[in-house]
Amino acid sequence: MIEKVKLSNLRNSEFIEFFKTLIQLVEGKSISASRVKEKLNELILLVKQVDSVFKPELGSKLTGKLQEVDAERDNLIAGIDLIIEGYCHHFDSALKMKAELLWNSLRTYGTGIQRLGYQEETQVLDNLSQRWLSTSELTDALVSLNLFDWVNEIKKQNDLFRANYIDRVDTDASQLDIRTIDLRKQIAKTYDDLNDLLQAYAIIGDEPTYGQVINSSNELIGKYNQLLKNRSASQEETPVA
């Protein structure tokens, strides 16, 4: 008899890994029954689908609009960096001092801000623009170098990127949840059907292979049941703040 595992309690990554391992176990045996092979192939296709759907969770795809806004803010920060650096060599000592003030402030965020990851760049540009627009001596330096409007444009494009990025992630996550839930249900049903076939052939057949598959499956199931048990115990022991 094949043991039970609470599939609904497995996280997506655990769910996928469980079935990948199970499929390897079954494929490693010489199964002769065509009905078992057909059901196994059905399971393999479904697991491949849920695996490909789950992978985008590691990083949401950016739309063309987001890429355009990102390129615009990249150009803006790269451009103001060059202008400030140029003013640091200005013949007017007053302008040179103001440029050096902005330069030192900019360098606290490192170099190559435009090459940072999307979320990190968004946070850095947010902090930078807020600091420059709220600190009187930095704001005065921007005005003196005619860069005040430039920084406002950086803030505008960065805010626009954040809004579009959040909308895109929310849309992707919503679509992903629906597809993942549906596929998990299909996989669970196919898994039950496969188990029924394996147990039936183990009873009526003369081949020891089916019994071996069941034993290997139960060993795998035992490991995942222990994983769920450990997680449940850990959550119960965690004190409520």
Q: Rounded to an integer, what distance in angstroms lies between the CA atom of residue 62 and that of residue 183? A: 24
DSSP state of 4: P
Size (the chain), residues: 241
Domain boundaries defined on the chain: 7-58+207-236, 64-170
pLDDT at 179: 74
How much is the pTM? 0.53
Q: Is 5 helix (H, G, I), strand (E, B) or coil?
A: coil
Average pLDDT over residues 213-235: 88
pLDDT at 215: 93
What is the pLDDT confidence band of residue 154, given thresholds at 50, 70 and 90?
A: very high
Average pLDDT over residues 166-191: 76
pLDDT cut 90: percent of the chain above it:
58
Instruction: Kindly state the tokens that stand for 165.
Output: 């990025």
Q: Is 112 left (phi over 0), alpha (psi -120 to 50) or beta?
A: left
Lowest-pLDDT range of 19-33, 100-114, 129-143? 19-33
Do 198 and 214 touch, CB atoms closer than 8 A? yes
Do 144 and 98 touch, CB atoms closer than 8 A? yes
Amino acid identity of residue 70, one-letter, is D
pLDDT of 47-65, one tens digit each? Answer: 999 888 776 544 445 567 8
